[in-house]
């Protein structure tokens, strides 16, 4: 698989470790979108780069690292076509793939050990989307990208409340 990789300064060290792991141990093609040093940068810049790389089809999946994994995942998820989440356990990586068809993960460079992040990445790249009852739900998520709302015709009780 082609994997887009990015971080901010707080995730830089683990990004470099994951780059090596992805290429040398798992055998993936890594597209390193930066940064190239641990100088202070803003995580939305790199979340966007990873998100766009996945949304365009240039990469199959994206892996982002910041201090918590939260901010960079939130930024990536703003790119249409991306389903990104902060992930802190292998179990959540598995469910994010099986239920949500997630295509970008945000990892914590400050609060999660490299060994755990390596396992998260491995699971994220091997678990498959289950489809079935989850497919319609993911489709509704994607409607938010394309029309700005969930088409709620099949919801029990009709349209959801305004807020
Ligand atoms: C940077 O200090 C930190 O805010 C960032 O890495 C990330 O944790 C944001 O969500």
8 Å CB contact between 84 and 77? yes
For this structure, is 163 an active site residue? no
C-alpha 123/C-alpha 143 separation (Å) is 27
The atom of ligand 1 lying closest to the CA of 70 is 10
The atom of ligand 1 lying closest to the CA of 9 is 6
Of all protein residues, the one whose alpha carbon is nearest to atom 6 of ligand 1 is 67
What pLDDT sits at residue 161?
59
Query: Catalytic pick from 28, 53, 64, 66?
Result: 66
* Tokens read off for 140: 């509704």
Name the helix (H) or strand (E) containing 141.
Answer: helix 133-146
Give the tens place of pLDDT for each residue, 27-53. 999 999 999 999 999 999 999 999 999
What pLDDT sits at residue 156?
57
Query: Pocket residues for ligand 1 (CB within 6 Å)?
Result: 8, 10, 43, 66-68, 70-71
Q: How far is CA 115 from CA 3, 41, 94, 106, in A?
A: 19, 25, 16, 15
pLDDT over 90 for what percent of the chain?
92
The answer, yes or no, to whether residue 152 has pLDDT greater than 90, is no
Superfamily of domain 2-147: Sugar-phosphate isomerase, RpiB/LacA/LacB (3.40.1400.10)
Summary mean pLDDT of the chain: 95
Measured in Å, residue 152 CA sits from the centre of ligand 1 at 35
Q: 53 Cβ partners below 8 Å, 6+ apart?
A: 4, 31, 33, 59, 62
Using pLDDT thresholds of 50, 70 and 90, give the confidence band for residue 10: very high
Give the tens place of pLDDT for each residue, 106-147. 999 999 999 999 999 999 999 999 999 999 999 999 999 999
Q: What is the pTM of this model?
A: 0.94
Of all protein residues, the one whose alpha carbon is nearest to atom 10 of ligand 1 is 71
The answer, yes or no, to whether residue 157 has pLDDT greater than 60, is no
For this structure, is 66 an active site residue? yes
Lowest mean pLDDT among 15-19, 80-84, 94-98, 154-158: 154-158
Q: 88 Cβ partners below 8 Å, 6+ apart?
A: 69, 107, 108, 111, 112, 116, 120
Going from N- to C-terminal start, the domains of the chain cover 2-147
């Amino acid at each position: 698989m082609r994997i887009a990789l990015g971080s901010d300064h707080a995730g830089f060290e683990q990004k470099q470790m994951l780059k090596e792991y992805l290429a040398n141990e798992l055998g993936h093609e890594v597209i390193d979108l930066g940064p190239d040093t641990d100088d202070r940068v803003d995580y939305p810049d790199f979340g966007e780069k990873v998100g766009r790389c996945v949304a365009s089809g240039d990469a199959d999946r994206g892996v982002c690292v910041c201090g918590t994994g939260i901010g960079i995942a939130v930024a990536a998820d703003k790119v249409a076509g991306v389903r990104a989440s902060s992930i802190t356990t292998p179990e959540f990586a598995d469910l994010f793939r099986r239920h949500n068809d997630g295509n970008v993960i945000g990892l914590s460079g400050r609060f999660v050990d490299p060994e755990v992040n390596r396992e998260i990445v491995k699971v994220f790249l091997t678990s498959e989307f289950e489809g079935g009852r989850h497919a319609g739900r993911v489709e509704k998520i994607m409607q938010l990208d394309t029309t700005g709302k969930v088409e709620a015709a099949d919801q029990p009780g009709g349209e959801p409340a305004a807020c």
